[in-house]
Amino acid sequence: MDAPARRPPRSGARREWQDARVLEVRRETARASTYRLGLPRWEPHVPGQHYVVRLVAPDGYRAERSYSVASPPSDEGVIELTVERLADGEVSAYLHDGIAPGDELTVRGPFGGWFVWRGDTPAVLVGGGSGVVPLMAMHRHWRATGRRAPLRMAVAARSPEELLYRSEYGDETLLAFSRAVPEGSPRPRGRLTAADLEPLLLPGATHYVCGSTPFAGHAEELLLGLGVPADAIRVERFGGG
């Protein structure tokens, strides 16, 4: 997931720019790739946080974008950023066309203190498209720490081919495809519905919604309609890059 860079706090050693080494580039879908980065000054992030990536052109032009971390904090020394290539995204296009293992990327982070989950309270995760990226950090953290707290997840994509991290979902996750469904799927194609989300609700849970502005608004309305208190819903919307 990517968005225009948010203003970071001014202090703290972890917020200095550093040159990360690209260790691996992994294709997730036709339009999305994951970049595994080794950080010289690494520290554990909280699932849901993001890093800022900065590109500098030879003429001095700079572009910065925020990308959510997909990896769990237990991956010591590294982070993974999953980037969807956007038609008008200058940074995402450069990453997809110009970055390979062995290259360096200038990054800064981690940032974010509201849309985060530490793994010790019930959570319901609702992601659409590349909005699943920060939620996957939470999901992986949940698995890495022995599933200490109850967690449920709903992931929406247009088709199975556009589903990120397709091999990582289990019985805790509902998959909703809006345009094409896999053969034998018990759920017909269509938008996420209240009937999809109702069985996933957990007592005392915080609900994390992430995706495009239309998706996030739709999912939030579904949760509110099911009686989830507004203060138990955290929404992250993303834009271009």
Does the bond joining 150 to the residue before it have cis omega, within 30 degrees of 0? no
Under the banding of pLDDT at 50, 70 and 90, the label for residue 237 is: very high
| 50-56/123-128 β-pairing | unpaired
pLDDT value of residue 4: 44
Per-residue model confidence as pLDDT tens digits over 199-222: 999 999 999 999 999 999 999 999
* The Cα angle at residue 47 between residues 41 and 52, in degrees rounded to 5: 50
CATH class for domain 123-237?
alpha beta
| Region 30-48 average pLDDT | 98
Output the CA torsion sign for 205, 239, 140, 15: negative
| Region 65-85 average pLDDT | 98
> What does the mean pLDDT of the chain come to?
94
Residue 241 has pLDDT above 70, yes or no: no
Q: How far apart (Å, rounded) are the C-alpha atoms in residues 119 and 241?
A: 30
| Residue 144 exposure: Cα atoms within 13 Å on the Cβ side | 15
| Region 71-86 average pLDDT | 98
Cβ-contact 109, 115 below 8 angstroms: no
Helix then strand count (H, E) for the chain reads 4, 12
| 173-177/18-27 β-pairing | unpaired
- Domain 2-111 and domain 123-237, same fold? Reply is no
pLDDT value of residue 89: 87
Cβ-contact 211, 127 below 8 angstroms: yes
**Complete DSSP assignment for 208-221:** EEEE-HHHHHHHHH
pLDDT value of residue 240: 60
pLDDT value of residue 87: 86
Reference 202, options 141, 154, 132; nearest CA is: 154
| Region 85-114 average pLDDT | 95
pLDDT value of residue 108: 98
**Complete DSSP assignment for 24-72:** EEEE-SSSEEEEEEE-TT--PPPTT-EEEEEEE-TTS-EEEEEEEB-S-
| Region 23-50 average pLDDT | 98
pLDDT value of residue 12: 43
pLDDT value of residue 181: 95
Per-residue model confidence as pLDDT tens digits over 5-35: 444 444 344 589 999 999 999 999 999 999 9
Per-residue model confidence as pLDDT tens digits over 159-177: 999 999 999 999 999 999 9
What does the domain layout of the chain look like in residue ranges? Answer: 2-111, 123-237
2-111 maps to CATH 2.40.50.140: no
Per-residue model confidence as pLDDT tens digits over 175-196: 999 999 999 899 999 999 999 9
| Region 62-84 average pLDDT | 98
pTM of the model as a whole: 0.92
pLDDT value of residue 11: 39
